[in-house]
Structure 1
């Protein structure tokens, strides 16, 4: 329950910076590399990504079970950062060494290296990393601070890699080897940050191995599925990621076909939202200490709904969008800053209710849920665009039918409103903030009696 130092909070946040330096590049620029530098057809890439999504989702739950059963001198979650750092770096580089061979061989190579990096090794880092915060402290406020530092430093990795990859590729020769050299640089930074996180962060929540109950898979799953607050926080995490999916997928089309600008407007709005969310996360510790996670997040969700509805006042003005994005991002930033702290509280609630801990299974289950939710959201948006008659612009300057432009506009105008109203409903159900102090006290008394 002791206070976690500022340096340790920074070290914990650097773990997610490391993940996003590599994964940010994979999730944004990898397709461009495959098509334009490795000579792989978009159809092959699409099939690999679709099939990989199935494996990627199930790997989170499996990893959750593995971490919960890990026993080492460093604890349960922390050792995975050390064990997986070097494999993560090697696998990430291998993704960019696609052989000059037939389309079939390239497709197999991409499938193996992509899933090795994202489905296996990234999951083996990210799930235990997420649960590590609950093993560092049981103090709800200290977990909130760790979550906030994570959300402050997480976007930094993505901004670094996404912003500087293409200039470095051009500098190193603008060919496949240039991508490999660039990836060497990113993984070197990622390895240093992951090791910093490993050596600085310690698991202080100790579990007596002799007294620890051996719980069956069936009992573990039942405890997870009957944890009401797990479902609340799973829904909230899904809402956060679905919001990012809508903004990331639909806003570029909105800028191109409504604002008639496909060069800088989307980048300006993306950077503004990211910057404001970082600043909003920085302010969160003071707000949480005064009003609590649930109330701060509820206020932010209400602000997100009201501000986004302001788009309807002038949906054809970029300047108005800039103002709306500024206000909305303040509200959205609150959930981004509190979501992992809420998951930490869910872990303690489950321990209090069931008598055994499920740190990694809860984080893994939540991760599985938001991946499925994001996939459904993406499929729904692209399905609506296809049904409205959207014409692919790869064949040249195509004039989109009015029905497609209207659909693009409606997705962006009303999609975020719907999901943030859902967030408000979930937060009205969520009462764990009020219950947590008595739960924490009872757990302490329980353990003192057992000792």
Structure 2
């Protein structure tokens, strides 16, 4: 829902979103450089064998998972005048850039042992330094705004920045690997990484300058004991982690040796840019389609379908004729579709396993759940890179050669094609055992909602939870909001399509029932008084940004955990507020009241609607907006309110089954609507006490 813009809170500006995305550009100038090009640097410039290079790549990627855990436990323990998170961008970016440059600056003339030690040391330091910048950067989105819609926009911008950075980086770096025998090739890479490091520092500083930590950090802490308790009974999470291991191994097998393919199979290292672009286009396209895929086929089936596309891409990569760039582009495009789809659905399913873990064990562990998945994914990345390098080494790859013999080329084809296809098949087979369907998750979320409300009421009265639950009545209500001996006070929730009249009807109902009126938390009218444009600035591009949230990112697990934990925290705070309002009777507008208080004894839930044309005229009459602006305001309000409900409670407030009454206010007067609601309430709950003094 739109909210009142202030100096420190409110809808984020386009400049803030763009500045935040620059932080991910900075991240990926270094992260993607090591993911896509470090392997080739180690073999063709530093002179290591493919097997040794692969071992270093594998070990340091697994270490990166450990580094993420260390950073996650450390970053917010220090508070400064700039906040807890932003200082890591300010002070951590320069050390990160320095170790990044040193990693790609192996001195000539070092012995093989010293070369191995140099790369291993600085790669390990790089992974640690990167974690201490990337973890606070990812956490920053939840500190910039409590609005889940705004946070989705930030993560969407991050995803697009991630995709574009990969293409630009490949265009700059890949051609440099066409000839790795020149006298100045080492200096060339040092200068390249120096330039990338400087650009990264500048972008981090821009992100630091324009970001503001206005929300106290409230995410759940990672507890090993709680996490292990949850994992033991969380089959969907175990299956998802195993599938993620094989899938990331497949992706990074191909990523680590993809440049070899461009250079020796296609015949031009510079063509790697076209492959990266094709992959990016595929990833972005599938990101826009994932919501539709999920609703039509379910998450597991969608994942399996996307994985099968990735498998077909890997097989096609293996069979691409030598030098045939067009077919290779098609193959990489399919790879983008498959990898982007599986990655997006993986994040979505991961959120579901958090709910399942709480439902099964009573332990909610976003941080622990996502940290486990993050470590497994990093391990898969490491194993994949190691396997790809080991395979080309076993087939006789010769570093710095202008061409490879048929056996070595076959090894490159296997490492970019059939080996990742085999790993992707393993990920697909594992996912068959994922047993948490969309319907199952919906039931789990409803059950958790009931448990949380019961627990909140029992805590408020200091009684056992079973004492606030009675035998289910005919209307499926069984949650007592107050002790039975104190009787029932009216509780009415009202949800409306914008312009259906709730702001007039709600207070009138409250007055007749003798209870207080609680307006919706963020009033559209208040926002309109400050800045009318804030109500209809939700452009198609911004909605698309939210759709592609986190799609394609390979290193945002902990950021997603914090976002999900923040949504849960906001939802639970709203639950407590609603139960407090309802304790002495209330008419509550919005606030997801029909969902949170759905099982409350004495509750009546109403949805108001009206024809669009009439709603437009009502908004125009109240605000003085033009017809087009009023229509835009209505569209944004209805869309964003529903989107926030889905983010916070995984429910659609426009679903009629959650309401006792659905009234078209376009065919009757407001007074008649008020009388209908009050009369229906008194008929439904004749024993209720409606004689309390109304308050507002």
What is the TM-score of this pair, normalised by structure 1? 0.72
Q: 2:373 matched to which residue of 1?
A: 366
Give the distance between the partners of 1:39 and 1:47, measured in 2 at CA: 14
Q: Secondary structure, in 3 states, of the residue corresponding to 2:406?
A: coil
Is 1:13 aligned with 2:27? no
TM superposition shift of 1:310? 8.7
Q: 2:192 matched to which residue of 1?
A: 182
Q: 2:279 matched to which residue of 1?
A: 273
Larger relative CO (CA 8 A, sep 6+): 1 or 2? Answer: 1
Pick one of 204, 207, 210 that aligns with 1:200. 210
Structure 1 unaligned regions, length at least 5: none
Q: 1:443 matched to which residue of 2?
A: 572
Give the distance between the partners of 2:151 and 2:349, measured in 1 at CA: 9
Pair 137,295 (structure 1): closer, same or farther in 2 beyond 3 Å: farther
Q: Secondary structure, in 3 states, of the residue corresponding to 2:204?
A: helix
Give the distance between the partners of 1:243 and 1:130, measured in 2 at CA: 25
Is 1:399 aligned with 2:406? yes
TM superposition shift of 1:93? 2.4
Is 1:299 aligned with 2:279? no
The within-5 A match list for 1:14-163 is: 14-33=22-41, 48-49=56-57, 51-53=59-61, 55-67=63-75, 69=77, 71-72=79-80, 76-99=84-107, 102-103=110-111, 104-118=113-127, 120-136=128-144, 142-163=150-171
Give the distance between the partners of 1:330 and 1:375, measured in 2 at CA: 23
When the two structures are aligned, how many residues end up with a matched partner? 438
Is 1:263 aligned with 2:271? no
TM superposition shift of 1:370? 0.7
Contact 1:390 1:400 in 2 (8 A): yes
Q: Secondary structure, in 3 states, of the residue corresponding to 1:400?
A: helix
- Which structure carries more helix by proportion? 1
Question: Residues 231-254 of structure 1, C-alpha deviation per residue, up to 9 Å, x if partnerless?
Answer: 466456546533422443577788
Question: Residues 279-336 of structure 1, C-alpha deviation per residue, up to 9 Å, x if partnerless?
Answer: 443x35xx63996699478536425526855988998466666556545633543344
Contact 1:88 1:122 in 2 (8 A): yes
Which deviates the most, 303-312 or 12-21? 303-312
Pair 403,89 (structure 1): closer, same or farther in 2 beyond 3 Å: closer
Which deviates the most, 243-252 or 58-67? 243-252
Structure 2 unaligned regions, length at least 5: 4-10, 453-567, 582-696
Pair 347,124 (structure 1): closer, same or farther in 2 beyond 3 Å: farther
Give the distance between the partners of 1:142 and 1:72, measured in 2 at CA: 25
Pair 411,207 (structure 1): closer, same or farther in 2 beyond 3 Å: closer
TM superposition shift of 1:19? 1.2
TM superposition shift of 1:190? 1.0
Question: Residues 114-164 of structure 1, C-alpha deviation per residue, up to 9 Å, x if partnerless?
Answer: 22112x101112233334444455665554443332222113223323321
Give the distance between the partners of 2:56 and 2:29, measured in 1 at CA: 22
TM superposition shift of 1:18? 1.0
Question: Residues 361-401 of structure 1, C-alpha deviation per residue, up to 9 Å, x if partnerless?
Answer: 55443321112123334555667778xx8344558753339
Q: 1:288 matched to which residue of 2?
A: 291
Question: Residues 73-106 of structure 1, C-alpha deviation per residue, up to 9 Å, x if partnerless?
Answer: 5555444333311211222223344445642544
